[in-house]
Amino acid sequence: MAFCSLDGQDKTARVPNFPTAAGLATGRVIRHSRTMHTPKKRLFVKTYGCQMNVYDSGRMRDLLAPLGFAPTDIAEDADLIILNTCHIREKATEKIYSELGQMKLLKDRRAALGLETTLAVAGCVAQAEGAEIRARQPAVDLVFGPQALHKLPEMVAQAARSQRLVLETDFAAIDKFDVLESAPRAPDGVSAFLSVQEGCDKFCTFCVVPYTRGAEYSRPVAQIVAEAQHLAEHGVREIVLLGQNVNAYAGAAPDGGAKCSLADLLSRLADIKGIARLRYTTSHPIEMNPDLIALHGQSQTLMPFLHLPVQSGSDRVLKAMNRRHTIADYVAIIENIRKARPDIAIATDFIVGFPGETAADFEASLALIDLIGFSQAFSFKFSARPGTPAAELPDQIPEGEKDRRLAVLQDKLFAAQLGFNRAQIGATLPVLMTGPGRHAGQTIGRSPFLQSVHVDEIHAPGTILPLRIVSASQNSLRGETIAHLAGSPA
């Protein structure tokens, strides 16, 4: 496939711009003077599921800020409550209905005080279940899918005017990102998510995402560069590019030429002043292009970390899952990427108890853990999702057996993770400080390999500091500054 060329591109070309810090401040003053006599409205957003939902929730806050909605962490104080939901497994969906039951009681308590509350369900459950949600919980006023969130200001106004359910489950990713482009983004830290690709055309037989997020869509390069520049101007040092299949990214080039690949996009973003680190997630093995692999060996800004879900170590199961690659393909990708970047950390996802998974298939997953040596992994029991082909397959594995397999798999994965973390002891790693640690006087940061690192000193968020790793647990590392070590008694 021909991808866009970086040569000849005017890197200073003006792209649709976000307001600068000064512009934002002015905007706030004007808005404040207009709304001075209106009490502030409060917005409570609760996010479930993947990073793309985290990104979307942030954008909902951005869209509602000009309407006078200030975020709150206390649901009881909120005039507008949004649950941004996940449909990936049955448990995730059922959790939403019990949460909605709580929100109904909260709404009743507020009504008794004469306060109105709008209750909204967003995200993948909203997309999948639509009006059915209101049938199960009549207190819900508004239901909208992931591709309709840009209509939030009108939907909220409509819900306030009408007793009827406001329902928006259209797929129009292009509209969504075009509208979001003009909503100033307020980052809340030195690391920020940035959605560049949405949707999925892969149709793994177990998965609901193609139905809840729609077809694969890539945002144009200029739009992404503008958002990244805005983030950099507001103190962001690390950007994590998001997509359900982020490495399938093929976005329109600014010059109208051939489509840009993810590697091209990463190279452009690496040139933005202030951006020190780039990551991307989640990738599909069949989209792991040679240019992306090569970039891991060339770019210092691209972090040595790859999340590449494998799901199973058995070719038979991979075929039944419609993953469209074999274990030999997966191993070859890992070998190639390790040739380009020998120290790269590899993370993955596993599903245990897929219908028909035999003891031998499961053993093959365990063997793959030993072969690859994953630095981190998410692992799940297969959940039969209505409407997906795998839910209809014979030989569903009993729940107890799935529990047993998950426990065995996780023991092995946790040991691998601890081993990976312990291997860093004695090394000096550049750590991006992200904020205060759990204890007073402590700062927490992130290693290039996506490990949490604690240091018993105060450092400003955004600083990248070389830390000597002195201890490691399964979930984090402890580091000390080099100067501190030099000054400490032997």
Indicate which of ligand F3S, ligand SF4, ligand SAH, none lies near residue 377 (CB less than 5 to 8 Å, by partner kind): none
Indicate which of ligand SF4, ligand SAH, ligand F3S, none lies near residue 52 (CB less than 5 to 8 Å, by partner kind): ligand F3S
**Of the listed pieces 13-21, 70-78, 203-211, 449-457, which binds ligand SF4 according to CB under 6 A?**
203-211
Distance CA 330, CA 323 (A): 11
Written as one letter, the residue type at 285 is: P
| Beta carbon of residue 140, minimum distance to ligand SAH (angstroms, whole number) | 25
Where would I find the beta strands (DSSP E) of 372-438? Answer: 376-381, 428-436
437 lies in the binding site for ligand F3S (CB under 6 A):
no
| CA of residue 153 relative to chain centroid, distance | 24
Buried b (16+ CB within 10 A) or exposed e, 110-143: beeeeeebbbbbbbbbbbbbbeebbeebeebbbb
Task: Give the residues across from 352 on adjacent strands.
Answer: 381
Distance CA 191, CA 209 (A): 26
Indicate which of ligand F3S, ligand SF4, ligand SAH, none lies near residue 86 (CB less than 5 to 8 Å, by partner kind): ligand F3S
Is residue 314 within 8 A of residue 327, CB to CB? The reply is yes
83 lies in the binding site for ligand F3S (CB under 6 A):
no
Q: Interaction with ligand SF4 in 282-311: which residues (CB under 6 A)? A: 284
311 lies in the binding site for ligand SAH (CB under 6 A):
yes
**Considering only CA atoms, which of 282, 274, 197 is closest in space to residue 238?**
274
**Of the listed pieces 81-89, 132-140, 277-285, 350-358, which binds ligand F3S according to CB under 6 A?**
81-89
Beta-carbon contacts of residue 348 (< 8 Å; ≥ 6 apart): 307, 308, 309, 310, 372, 374, 377, 378
Member of 3, 4, 44, 49 binding ligand F3S (CB under 6 A): 49
Dihedrals phi, psi of 474, to nearest 5 degrees: -65, -35
446 lies in the binding site for ligand SF4 (CB under 6 A):
no
**Cβ-based nearer residue to ligand F3S, 301 or 388:** 388
472 lies in the binding site for ligand F3S (CB under 6 A):
no
**Cβ-based nearer residue to ligand F3S, 52 or 433:** 52
Buried b (16+ CB within 10 A) or exposed e, 151-173: bbeebbeebeeeeebbbbbebbb
Is residue 252 within 8 A of residue 259, CB to CB? The reply is yes
Is residue 87 within 8 A of residue 124, CB to CB? The reply is yes
How many residues contact ligand SAH, by CB under 6 A? 17
126 lies in the binding site for ligand F3S (CB under 6 A):
no
**Of the listed pieces 80-88, 271-279, 297-305, 418-426, which binds ligand F3S according to CB under 6 A?**
80-88
**Of the listed pieces 50-58, 64-72, 329-337, 480-488, which binds ligand F3S according to CB under 6 A?**
50-58
How many residues contact ligand F3S, by CB under 6 A? 13
**Cβ-based nearer residue to ligand F3S, 87 or 405:** 87
Kindly state the tokens that stand for 146: 């992931």
**Of the listed pieces 12-20, 96-104, 219-227, 376-384, which binds ligand SAH according to CB under 6 A?**
376-384
| Beta carbon of residue 386, minimum distance to ligand SAH (angstroms, whole number) | 10
**Of the listed pieces 58-66, 67-75, 201-209, 251-259, which binds ligand SAH according to CB under 6 A?**
201-209
244 lies in the binding site for ligand SAH (CB under 6 A):
yes
Torsion of CA 81, 86, 89, 94, to 10 degrees: 10
Indicate which of ligand SAH, ligand SF4, ligand F3S, none lies near residue 203 (CB less than 5 to 8 Å, by partner kind): ligand SF4
Indicate which of ligand SAH, ligand F3S, ligand SF4, none lies near residue 383 (CB less than 5 to 8 Å, by partner kind): ligand SAH
* 3 state SS of 184: coil
Dihedrals phi, psi of 253, to nearest 5 degrees: -75, 150
Q: Contact positions toward ligand F3S, by CB under 6 A?
A: 49-50, 52-53, 86-88, 123-124, 208-209, 212-213
